Amino acid sequence: MLKKIILFALFMSFLIALAGCQESPKPTDRLQEYVELWNKEKFDDMYNNYLASSTKETFKKEDIVTRYKDLYDDLEVKDIKVEFTKPKEEPEWDKKKTADFPITVSMNTLAGEVSYEETITLTKEKRDEEEDWYIEWKPAFILPELEQGDKVGIDTIEAVRGEIFDRHDNPLAINGEAFEIGIKPGEFNEKDMEKVSELLDVSPEFIQAKLEQSWVKPDLFVPIKRIPINDRPLALEITDSKGVLSARVEARQYPYGEAAAHLTGFIGKIQAEQLEKLKGKGYTAQSLIGMRGAEGLFEEKVKGQDGQRIYIKKETEETVTVAEKEVKNGENITLTIDAELQKKLYDQMKDEVGTASAMNPQTGEALALVSTPAFDPNQYVLGISSSQLKKIQDNPDKPLLTRFSTTYSPGSTMKPITASVGLKSGKLNPNKVFEIKGKEWNDEAFGNYKVVRVFDNDSTVDLESALKYSDNIYFAKVGLEMGADTFTKGLKEFGFEEKVPFTYPTKQSQISNDGTISKKVQLADSAFGQGEILMSIVHLASAYGGIINDGNMMKPRLLLDEKQEVWKEKLLTKEQSEMLKTDLRKVVTEGIASKASVEGKEIAGKTGTAEIKSEQGTTGVENGLFVSYDQKDPTMVLAMLLEDVEKAGGSTHTVQVAKKFYESW
């Protein structure tokens, strides 16, 4: 028994000694844990396990946890960094009740970086029979100088959106004004609903929904729709009704309207998906953003950066600035486009379905990019009605399609490119004469397929004759003599099968669906512009530019300050270039494009008809092309394509439309 008592006494002594060896809790360890949670934004854990009782008596959980989360979200806080350095020598903490330590807090916000120092106090408390250190929390830990009862505010100074101009400083997209038509419900006569609805081209239900918004009061102005500032007669007619008012408001304007619609694009309210994708880049749910065209392409430049100020409003009405970022207005953009040329070209094409590209062959500058039919970008900015939108979307001619950025079969406009490839490779002798009889020709490798030409007036055909009369059989034979490898290599040297280095996204031109030519019949067809060859109108104009610019094709440019560069060089020798230019002139003076003659100009060029059909012998849709330039002033190559022209005269119709443009320009 005595032995057991002695052993028990020894055991108890051991426990007491062991307890005496355990260190007392340190405030530095607790603070380090708290800081780590803070950096990870674990606000619930910070509140539940680390805050002093006095803090929890003063502040409810939502006062701290919810406020942290809401403010960090509203202020777009990221890269939060809280730092605390432990002292090299620590006192006997078991003899102290409180401890103070300096901390530094830094973060990035929507208004810039915020960095400050604070003193944090820890208090020793006994909970569940154990002593530990707890933080005395204060609002200044969220933002510097923030106190209980203060409010945090954000001031935004909107950046002025940059404007877009043409090469002559004509405005393409500018910050202007519009009339905002609205209703004061307390003064409005319901009998005028139909009249106002009709004049504004919106439904009565649309207007009624606006008037039934939760914030609406009888004496408040309720915006209904914006109309162009130059439509003053309409504004006066609408506001003739009692309770219907107008106000001048800022609005984006597109002075050239439909003529430059696909080029300029328009701005509109940001969509939810876009907002999520651009999170942290200064956009809000109310932001306007470039939706397409130059507005979308150069959004980052023209948008600018809103000025932001984060401030604390004291109960005394005094304000303290926490962070401030100056407003940075958007940049103005100058395009290579000649807006008046663009409008002239559009005016000639507006009743057609098609596209055109005018390029300077010496500089690569895009002078005009037209797609018809088009739409009025001003309607989208001012608020397009559902009936207008449906009309555009249901139009079978697809006015929203940007045709100058897509690809088409080039038809016979391909022939000068084929000739260039043959001349450079040495596989084409321009003086070699082919004996061709009749309008049809069949190679034994073609099976039942036949190459057909339009004219059979020449039986001895050389390059000049083949270009003048657009001889398919001649170019089919040239293609076969060249061979698929030489032809394919030459087309790639012209930029086929690669991205066109143009600021405006343009689909790349293709040699075939898989990039190769494996059959003789495909090679023959491709050589005169059929087969599976596809080109964009921009690339087509650029390629002709290379032919007439002594064999150097310039990189297409849309920005005036963009560096001038050669895209593809030495496509032809100067002598070969001069020969093809002579032949292209004869296409108009002696050949198939005689209707392109314009008094005072020396128009040269090549026509093309691309028949889109499923198989030989069937009827398909014809697209008519004409690539041309004035040899008296070779600073512009005009490539034009009009769709579905078979009933209007085929490619001759395209020639006539181009001629009218030249006569007016």
Active-site residue set = 412
CA distance 661 to 368: 13
CB 189 within 8 A of CB 195: no
Residue 405 CB neighbours (<10 A): 19
Contacts of 558 (CB under 8 A, 6+ apart): 294, 335, 336, 337, 366, 502, 503, 504
Beta bridge partner(s), residue 434: 461
Cα gap 398→440, rounded to integer Å: 37
Neighbours of 334 (CB within 10 A): 16
First to last CA, the chain: 125
Token pair recorded at residue 191: 């009998």
Helix H or strand E encompassing 223: strand 222-228
Q: ω into residue 373 within 30 of 0, thus cis? A: yes
Counting runs of H as helices and runs of E as strands, what totals does the chain give? 24, 27
Give how far Cα 457 sits from Cα of 159, 445, 477, Å.
67, 26, 18
Q: d(Cα 406, Cα 540) in Å, to the nearest integer?
A: 12
DSSP letter assigned to residue 407:
E
Whether 651 and 327 have beta carbons less than 8 Å apart is answered as no
Residue type, position 532, single letter = E
Cβ atoms of 650 and 641 closer than 8 Å:
no
Angle at 566 between CA 565 and CA 567, to 5 degrees: 110
Residue type, 519: K
One-letter identity of residue 142: I
